[in-house]
Structure 1
Amino acid sequence: MDGAVWALAQATHELALFAAVGLAIGGLDDLLVDLIWVARTAWRRVTIYRRFAPATAEGLAARASGPVAVFVPAWREALVIGQMATAALQRWADEDVRLYVGCYPNDPETISAIETVAANDPRLRLVVNPRPGPTTKADNLNAMWLAMLDDEIAMGRRFVAVALHDAEDVVHSAEIGIYATLCRRFDLVQLPVVALIERDRGMWRRFVSAHYADEFAESHAKGLVVREALGAGVPSAGVGCGLSRDLLQRIANRFGAPFDPGTVTEDYELGLRVREIGGRGIFVRLPASRQGGLVAVRAHFPNTVEAAVRQKARWQAGIALSGWTRLGWRGGLAEHWMRFRDRRAILLALVLLCAYFSAGLLLALEAVGRAPKFSDAELALFGLCTALMLWRLGMRALFVGRIYGWAEALASLPRVLLANFIAMASAWRALIAYLRIARGAPLTWDKTEHDFPRTMPAE
């Protein structure tokens, strides 16, 4: 028995060190991104913004010209698509826009919901995919692209930009003006995504949905800003994203279609391909007017652990695994670094699992007086991990507080535990899904159920 306990203590010692090394590397990686963001923010404040007033969506819209097409893929979205399309067309009442909604012949409920709205607004265009659903989202988008080309011939006009949205999105009234202006200069224009926090579905569902708010608050206020500053490719979030119509035509001429149906994360890959073919992407985070109000896309995200794991597993399988094999490691040092950060999710999940497991074993061994001994250097490593963790929690709270207030900033701290659990569970599911696809399983649209806000959030 003593030998077994000793062996367990030694194994726990090694497992804890493995986890600590992994957490330290990841923490230093995150710290470097934080420091670049701090330096960039400070530099812009003391140089650029002292000479020039920050841009606003209002100012950009004054220079907008040309029609914008908005693509919304929809598979079994009858509960939300009508509300989404109605709200979008109301907010874009004065814009030169056409809203395309792509659905499938074996989804009559969604078709009916779209037709109801289209009967009252000719700017809504129903596109029925020739293949029964679900195919991939990219295949759905390509069907809308072909419909748009036909419309251009019929209208005798070309769209200047194509914007992407999902069926649950709450759009911003200033979006179209931004795309119509900036997509003449840039090939990809990505706006921030703000996750809506559940308010009336119970405390647990609120807790789950809010962890998305935490992650997007940080990644879309810091991560994408740093990517752009370093000159790395700006990945599309798939929503709130405007694409140059000419760019999509170039991609279609080169690959046969603008959206690749061979992937489940076509939006992410499209953003990186823009960079690879010499295009320019930009992340645009700006107020609607001098009075403020962030121009962003708002949406509800999954509010159950099961749904969150399914969604994030699809993201991880497409970005961390398929993205590695499909896109490789092209580009310069900054591009390599950002792609590594995108693809570290599976490895990070393993490190987190080892960290939690070794922590539990250390507590159990300490309770029986058989905990392993650590050297001063090893204890210093644990101290570094602790300091990096506290810094990370502080940065997360800072960005959450800027959007949602300090009550949510404080609540974001315990939500990290839930986010870590979801990350570990989704990594396992992503690995299984990737192996199935590698063995020849067909790609399908593994979508989640969506909600549309009962009360429209303020812009």
Structure 2
Amino acid sequence: MPVAQFTSAEWLALLQHELLLLAAVFFAIGLIDELAIDITYAWLRLTGRAKPAEVGSRGYALQDLSGMAAVFIPAWEEDTVIGPTLAHALASWPQDDVRIYVGCYRNDPATIASVSVAARGDDRIRVVIVGADGPTSKAHCLNRLYQALCDDETRLRAKAHMVVLHDAEDMVDEAALVTLDRAIWHDDFVQLPVMALPQSDSPWIAGHYSDEFAESHAKAMVVRDALGVSVPGAGVGSAIRRPMLDRLARLHAGEPFASASLTEDYELGQRICALGGTGRFLRARTHDGRLVATRAFFPSDLSAAVRQKTRWTHGIALQGWDRLGWRGTLAERWMTLRDRRGPLAALVLAIAYILVLSAILSQVSATAGFVAPLEPSPMLRGLLVFTMFGLVWRLLARGLFTGREYGVKQGLMAVPRVLVSNVIAIMSGRRALAAYWRSLRGAPVVWDKTAHHDHPSLALPKAAYA
């Protein structure tokens, strides 16, 4: 049919066909990428290289450390959760060689008071006041804690052998500190898994974090570790060997943490690798099967989840491209590309959902006889079959990984929660692009933190994490 004779409905069908082809191509590329990760993980499982290390139970957790361990916890407006966090950490880690440095801001008296109450009677907690009104950036607070540690080391004439990073809302694992203490002698950076605990009042928003971390920290991060590429820091359950932290500080005017970065935790692992340091993602289980991991509640409402993921996407995918560039081996660049695909994935997902609605309208119109449906080309038909197979595969994998950590019910819920993950990804991708544009025009980097109201150690029975 000549182009001039196309009706508006036929033009719409043609546009729908081309957009569908575009989305199908990108989905196919993404599925090939995921299948490569799945095949590598399956090979690691078959060869035994993906098997978690085994550590002792409570007796193991009570073992002495091989030196002083400094724990850094930056805190801004965390008076609701910092008390339970410190109480649980002190009870879980009774070793005398632990020093917990909590960074508070001078204009946040409520958090300072909460930390002071928790520190009463236990000299293992050190309250460090940031000499600026908050919030600055999380890295700025961490750099102040580093300075306080250096001052203490000079005064005590004793040096820590590792620094462990945690957030103010974390529930630490009792075996984590000894596990990190043993591992840090072999690598410059060690990252433990993170478990986003399900919340009964937010089965969909908070629950989608459980699904994503269960799969990522049981499969993708295991593959990264096996490939020997850089291990991105999660900001919690991360240990850095003390000499490496000093090395970073010397190279960056005394500040080992990147104050200008929105995701200084992710960047930390990259910078250590760039200096020739070694990183490790360490999965370990106790004799009774408990995963040694940091447990926490993640945002339970849509706006907070979108804000958090906006910061992640902005910092890792957009700002990280500017700050870190592309470097390393082919495997390193592959993982970097996976880390930075967020904005493009959000765009393709948005197009896909629009096409689903458009397809429904087109089918209704075709059924009513208003317009003849445009038949997909053989290439598009083949791509759709492949992507449908890939979608089913991805849903099964998500459900299996979630079910393994949280039980059958959560595993089944993980399948429909993929829709929630996608919607949040689309919304945060759009906001990240807008935020990045503002940063290019000179907008300052500030701590766009998530508000925390509940702590797992108070909300859950001990059996849930012990």
Please tell me the TM-score bracket, short chain as reference: over 0.9
Residue in 2 aligned with 1:394?
396
Aligned counterpart in structure 2 of residue 245 of structure 1, from 235, 242, 247: 242
| Structure 1: distance between partners of 2:53 and 2:118 | 38
Residue in 2 aligned with 1:96?
97
Contact 1:98–1:125 (Cα < 8 Å) also in 2: yes
**Residues 36-435 of structure 1 aligned to structure 2 (within 5 Å):** 36-44=40-48, 54-56=53-55, 64-94=65-95, 96-199=97-200, 201=201, 205-256=202-253, 257-288=255-286, 290-369=287-366, 370=371, 371-435=373-437
| Structure 2: distance between partners of 1:15 and 1:104 | 50
Per-residue deviation, residues 35-70 of structure 1 (Å, max 9, x unmatched): 10000111117xx98xxx954256698584101000
Partner-residue secondary structure (3-state), 2:385? helix
Letter in 1 for 2:196: A
Identity %: 45
Superposition deviation, residue 182 in structure 1: 1.6
Residues 1:258 and 1:57: Cα distance change in structure 2 (over 3 Å): farther
| Structure 2: distance between partners of 1:123 and 1:94 | 9
Comparing 56-65 with 275-284, greater Cα deviation is found at 56-65
Partner-residue secondary structure (3-state), 2:296? strand
Q: How many residues align?
A: 449
Aligned counterpart in structure 2 of residue 12 of structure 1, from 4, 12, 16: 16
| Structure 2: distance between partners of 1:438 and 1:57 | 50
Partner-residue secondary structure (3-state), 2:127? strand
In the superposition, the TM-score normalised over structure 2's length comes to 0.93
| Structure 1: distance between partners of 2:61 and 2:378 | 58
| Structure 1: distance between partners of 2:347 and 2:90 | 45
Aligned counterpart in structure 1 of residue 32 of structure 2, from 5, 10, 28: 28
Letter in 2 for 1:40: L
Superposition deviation, residue 329 in structure 1: 0.6
| Structure 2: distance between partners of 1:118 and 1:21 | 57
Query: Structure 1: 5+ residue runs without aligned partners?
Result: none
Comparing 135-144 with 55-64, greater Cα deviation is found at 55-64
Contact 1:208–1:305 (Cα < 8 Å) also in 2: yes
| Structure 2: distance between partners of 1:448 and 1:62 | 34
Letter in 2 for 1:167: A
Contact 2:61–2:176 (Cα < 8 Å) also in 1: no
Letter in 2 for 1:398: L
Superposition deviation, residue 206 in structure 1: 2.1
Letter in 2 for 1:263: S
| Structure 2: distance between partners of 1:372 and 1:448 | 47
Superposition deviation, residue 455 in structure 1: 3.2
Partner-residue secondary structure (3-state), 1:100? strand
Partner-residue secondary structure (3-state), 1:12? helix
Comparing 172-181 with 60-69, greater Cα deviation is found at 60-69
Partner-residue secondary structure (3-state), 2:48? helix
| Structure 1: distance between partners of 2:43 and 2:63 | 32
Contact 1:68–1:179 (Cα < 8 Å) also in 2: no
| Structure 2: distance between partners of 1:54 and 1:422 | 34
Letter in 2 for 1:441: A
| Structure 2: distance between partners of 1:40 and 1:395 | 16
Letter in 2 for 1:159: A
Superposition deviation, residue 267 in structure 1: 0.3
Letter in 1 for 2:384: F
| Structure 2: distance between partners of 1:210 and 1:442 | 32
Contact 1:309–1:426 (Cα < 8 Å) also in 2: yes
| Structure 2: distance between partners of 1:226 and 1:379 | 32
Letter in 1 for 2:386: L
Q: Does 1:452 align with 2:451?
A: no
Letter in 1 for 2:231: V
Letter in 1 for 2:169: E
| Structure 1: distance between partners of 2:25 and 2:390 | 12
| Structure 2: distance between partners of 1:220 and 1:262 | 27
Letter in 2 for 1:334: A
Superposition deviation, residue 5 in structure 1: 1.0
| Structure 2: distance between partners of 1:95 and 1:361 | 64
Partner-residue secondary structure (3-state), 2:450? coil
Per-residue deviation, residues 134-176 of structure 1 (Å, max 9, x unmatched): 0000000000000011111222211010000001100011122
Partner-residue secondary structure (3-state), 1:72? strand
| Structure 2: distance between partners of 1:272 and 1:24 | 28
Contact 2:311–2:448 (Cα < 8 Å) also in 1: yes
Letter in 1 for 2:153: E
| Structure 1: distance between partners of 2:175 and 2:218 | 19
Contact 2:139–2:257 (Cα < 8 Å) also in 1: yes
Partner-residue secondary structure (3-state), 1:158? coil
| Structure 1: distance between partners of 2:225 and 2:95 | 32
Per-residue deviation, residues 264-294 of structure 1 (Å, max 9, x unmatched): 1000000111111000101110112x23211
Partner-residue secondary structure (3-state), 1:293? coil
RMSD in angstroms over aligned alpha carbons? Answer: 1.7
Residues 1:426 and 1:57: Cα distance change in structure 2 (over 3 Å): farther
Contact 1:57–1:177 (Cα < 8 Å) also in 2: no
Per-residue deviation, residues 435-456 of structure 1 (Å, max 9, x unmatched): 1111101110001111212234
Partner-residue secondary structure (3-state), 1:163? strand
In the superposition, the TM-score normalised over structure 1's length comes to 0.95
Contact 2:65–2:97 (Cα < 8 Å) also in 1: no
| Structure 2: distance between partners of 1:238 and 1:225 | 18
| Structure 2: distance between partners of 1:91 and 1:193 | 17
